[in-house]
Amino acid sequence: MGQTSIVLIAGLIFLIRYQVPEASVEFNNAPMIFWTCILTIAPVLLTYFTRRLRILHNMIIFDLLSLVCYIFTLYRLNLPAYINKHLYFLEMVHHSRELFSLLPLFIALLGIRVAMHETPHTNREERTEHLNFHFRHLLLPIIPLVAWYGILDFSHLFSEEVAALFIIIMLVPLLAFPYIFAPYMMQFLWKTKPLTDTILIKKLTELTKRSKMRFRDIAVWQTGNFEITNAAVAGIIPKNRRIFITDALLRNFTDEQIETIVAHEIGHIRHRHLLISCFIVFGYLLSYTIFYQLVGKPLMSLLEGYPVISSIVTLLFFVFYFRVFFNFLSRRFEYQADLYAADLTGNPEGCKSALRNLGSYSLFPKTFRLIIEMVNTHPSTDKRIEFIDQSTKDNTNIHRYRKCLLEVKLLFALIPLMGVLIYLINL
């Protein structure tokens, strides 16, 4: 599902880089609305009519098609200029007003997910559940953006110096927002109910005591027909932290396997992976600033008049940072959490058994595995099991995962250096 966020963010990048034409554009309402609707609905219809063809049964193909149609809507139909013209009375919130231009892409992505899901026409409840889930899943990446645009609009009430300081101050809580309020975001995405299995509650409570991790409660995700087998520990603030277990996990896994899976999630907390992820996002802002000053800005001057190409360059940097660099660290974090789970439970075999069971429910494709693993957040099940096997031996390369990773130390060292470099560039 991570591709959804990437496509939405890609659309946002093209929207931000859009420049209103210098010459005034005359709009004819009927053709404008007609072609916007056609370009929004076309990928959805194509998805519906080809969904039984296995060669095209891949959502990313249609997501990319919807992105291409959206770019055409932006740069050829001048949708943002059209919206600005008709929503001129919202000048006080002109940053937030831009989000209306994102609607065609949002609707197309939602329609693609509905069209690809084969549900009997009589099963209205399942179709509603499917639509509701994907609507909320698409909405989640936009919520921080709404908050950011709200900050920008509010900053216009101050002088330029105060506004700049206000934006910098608000940037830190905005970056931490998803990690602090993660339990509520997960509850927004899924329905939850309290765990009622007293034996399992006792085992998990004892597990958290051994790890010295505090939490608020244990909840069961109601994933319905999605049959998702997963667990999570969400929230960096102990009083707000929750342990989540999906209903499918309870149905298909033993208590011993569930215990090791939850221990893995506790490992992410104990190694502070959520906080580190927040710093990684902050590192992106700094590294992109450097990239823009040294590469993007000169490139924009060379490609003046070709905003699509400069937007593609920005998008490629974003994809490289999060899909290659961030996911490289994410795979290291998974190994760390696996090792922590084996140590905490004292049951490496139980960890391997849980991984094998998770692998049987996983949709991880076997073809092109090496290429896919380069941009995947998790290593393959085979590699994780092999890692746990190696952890029982005297392997110094494995033991380093019990401490703060060298890659993370380098990241923390680079962040202030990037700050200094930005300062020197702007002298």
Map 40-103 to HEC letters.
Answer: HHHHHHHHHHHCCCHHHCCHHHHHHHHHHHHHHHHHCCCHHHHHHHHCHHHHHHHHHHHHHHHH
Spatial CB neighbours of 235, under 8 Å, sequence gap ≥ 6: 179, 180, 181, 182, 183, 215, 216, 241, 242
4-18, 285-299, 357-371, 404-418: least confidently modelled range: 357-371
- Average pLDDT value over all residues in the chain: 83
Token output for 311: 């937007």
- What is the pLDDT confidence band of residue 375, given thresholds at 50, 70 and 90? low
Q: What is the pLDDT of residue 121?
A: 54
For the segment 13-38, the average pLDDT, to the nearest whole number, is 82
Is pLDDT of 322 > 50? yes
For the segment 172-176, the average pLDDT, to the nearest whole number, is 79
Q: What is the pLDDT of residue 107?
A: 94
Torsion of CA 278, 281, 282, 286, to 10 degrees: 160
Q: What is the pLDDT of residue 370?
A: 47
- For the chain, state the CA radius of gyration: 24
For the segment 38-50, the average pLDDT, to the nearest whole number, is 91
Q: What is the pLDDT of residue 302?
A: 78
CB 255 within 8 A of CB 226: no
- What is the pLDDT confidence band of residue 40, given thresholds at 50, 70 and 90? very high
What are the pLDDT digits (tens) for 333-361? 999 999 999 999 988 898 999 988 877 54
Is pLDDT of 119 > 70? no
**Domains, the chain:** 2-145 (no CATH), 186-269 (3.30.2010.10), 273-425 (no CATH)
Q: Pick from 254, 282, 422: which is nearest to 354 by CA? A: 254
In angstroms, the CA 60 to CA 45 distance is 15
Order the strands of the 231-234 sheet from edge to edge.
Answer: 191-194, 217-222, 242-246, 231-234
Is pLDDT of 178 > 60? yes
Q: What is the pLDDT of residue 305?
A: 67
- What is the pLDDT confidence band of residue 41, given thresholds at 50, 70 and 90? very high
Calculate what percentage of the chain has a pLDDT beyond 90. Answer: 18
DSSP string, 314-369: HHHHHHIIIIIIIHHHHHHHHHHHHHHHHHHHT-HHHHHHHHHHHHHH----STTH
In angstroms, the CA 354 to CA 261 distance is 7
Calculate what percentage of the chain has a pLDDT beyond 70. Answer: 90
For the question of whether the overall pTM of this predicted structure is more than 0.85, the answer is no
In angstroms, the CA 164 to CA 159 distance is 9
- Angle, vertex CA 328, rays to CA 287 and CA 418, nearest 5: 20
**With the C-alpha atoms ordered 57, 384, 321, 262, is the resulting torsion angle positive or negative?**
positive
- What is the pLDDT confidence band of residue 369, given thresholds at 50, 70 and 90? very low
Q: What is the pLDDT of residue 233?
A: 83
Is pLDDT of 1 > 50? no
Q: What is the pLDDT of residue 54?
A: 60
CB 391 within 8 A of CB 398: yes
Q: What is the pLDDT of residue 182?
A: 81
- Angle, vertex CA 238, rays to CA 237 and CA 244, nearest 5: 100
- Over the range 388-427, which residues count as b (16 or more CB within 10 Å of their CB) and which as e? beebeeeeeebeebeeebeebeebeeeeeebeebeeeeee
Is pLDDT of 363 > 50? no
What are the pLDDT digits (tens) for 277-310? 888 988 998 999 898 888 878 877 777 767 788 7
Higher pLDDT: 142 or 370? It is: 142
- What is the pLDDT confidence band of residue 108, given thresholds at 50, 70 and 90? very high
Is pLDDT of 275 > 90? no
For the segment 43-50, the average pLDDT, to the nearest whole number, is 89
For the segment 68-86, the average pLDDT, to the nearest whole number, is 90
In angstroms, the CA 344 to CA 212 distance is 11
Is pLDDT of 367 > 50? no
What are the pLDDT digits (tens) for 203-236? 988 998 998 888 888 888 887 777 778 888 888 8
Token output for 112: 């693609």
Q: Please count the residues of the chain.
A: 427
3-state secondary structure of 217: strand
Q: What is the pLDDT of residue 73?
A: 93
